[in-house]
Structure 1
């Protein structure tokens, strides 16, 4: 039998892993009202405290800013959550990071591009002053989180379910969340709730603020 050419390997090496996909993550946010919605911080420890309090034992990312809803999508319609995933995917260590998120439930911090400082009013313009002047006095804000999907409930959902009709217990938890977000959205910021962002239906976020409008009059 003729010898095998030296350039032919004995075995075919496995393909290099390509890493996680956007479908491995879900987009969540705290939302409320403030006077200055666009605030930045790179305080990893403070973001970690807020993440653990709201998201719980799930790997993922805090996004190092709060935003007005009309800052969440760039002119091309790409969200700050998808951009955070793209920034993560560009990291050479993404496989190791994804493993830490999955096995050790590690939260990371990602700084959004400066381009998200710009406002881009959506076709649904109900949060503008022209449509609803009340939102120039009580300005909507969002604090986004990109979370590794997992079967376990997020801490916010678990706390709300555990509190049930016990308003005192729920009040304690909400006060803890408000205290934890002070470094990014200090008083007089008002926390309204927590939700999941639907890339296909961003207007659902606007609806949450509209549902609170009557309380502000």
Structure 2
């Protein structure tokens, strides 16, 4: 459960948002789409009835933080905050669960390898064949459960039941991450412990080596 968010009458701080992501494997991690309707459908399917922002791009994990240490989630927040009507935009997120899509700056096309180099092809060649990708979501915090978490709870450990939902998510990403891309899971990015994201990919490394 999230802590209470700031009053909608004043623009919220970045701490009033959570940095979520879908993660998976592909042959081309950095891809963009201008299809706002498809982004909206994907957001609804993964996040649900929560205000927030989708980024109109997928990324390799080493593209999520630029040379200055700024994340793609921060830039999404900053882009909305820079709007003259930011108070109305943020209030709509809180009151009406409004969703927006922003295009990240082109500077995030550059790779910036973290101190944790385990996703490099030099250290783990398997990740040159199955290349990690991330689809970020910046979500206004609330007490309501996320759609992904609700589906996971409803499946109650039944892999086949959750598999149906996961198949729908894989279909929903096709407009920005077409086949052979597939989703492995969903998580929350922690700027203080970014290596947790890398651990998610490392958890499937052994499986990939047997394919």
Question: 1:8-23 residue pairs with structure 2 within 5 A?
Answer: 19-23=11-15
Counterpart Cα distance in 2 of 1:80 and 1:101? 19
Please name the residue that 1:24 is paired with: 16
Q: Is the aligned partner of 1:187 residue 2:179?
A: yes
Q: Is the aligned partner of 1:177 residue 2:169?
A: yes
SS in 2 for 1:129: coil
Please name the residue that 1:134 is paired with: 126
Which protein is bigger by CA-based radius of gyration?
1
SS in 2 for 1:65: coil
TM-score w.r.t. structure 1 length?
0.91
Specify every segment of 5 or more residues in structure 2 that has no aligned partner in the other structure, as ranges: 1-8
Counterpart Cα distance in 1 of 2:158 and 2:11? 43
Counterpart Cα distance in 2 of 1:70 and 1:77? 11
Counterpart Cα distance in 2 of 1:179 and 1:190? 9
Counterpart Cα distance in 1 of 2:24 and 2:35? 21
C-alpha RMSD of the superposition: 0.9
Question: 1:1-217 residue pairs with structure 2 within 5 A?
Answer: 19-217=11-209
Q: CA deviation at 1:165?
A: 2.7
Count how many residue pairs are aligned between Structure 1 and Structure 2: 201
Counterpart Cα distance in 2 of 1:137 and 1:166? 30
Counterpart Cα distance in 2 of 1:112 and 1:100? 22
Counterpart Cα distance in 1 of 2:110 and 2:116? 17
Counterpart Cα distance in 2 of 1:210 and 1:166? 24
Counterpart Cα distance in 1 of 2:202 and 2:32? 25
Q: CA deviation at 1:18?
A: 5.4
Gap change, CA 1:193 and 1:124, over 3 Å in 2: same
SS in 2 for 1:53: helix
Counterpart Cα distance in 1 of 2:194 and 2:81? 24
TM-score w.r.t. structure 2 length?
0.93
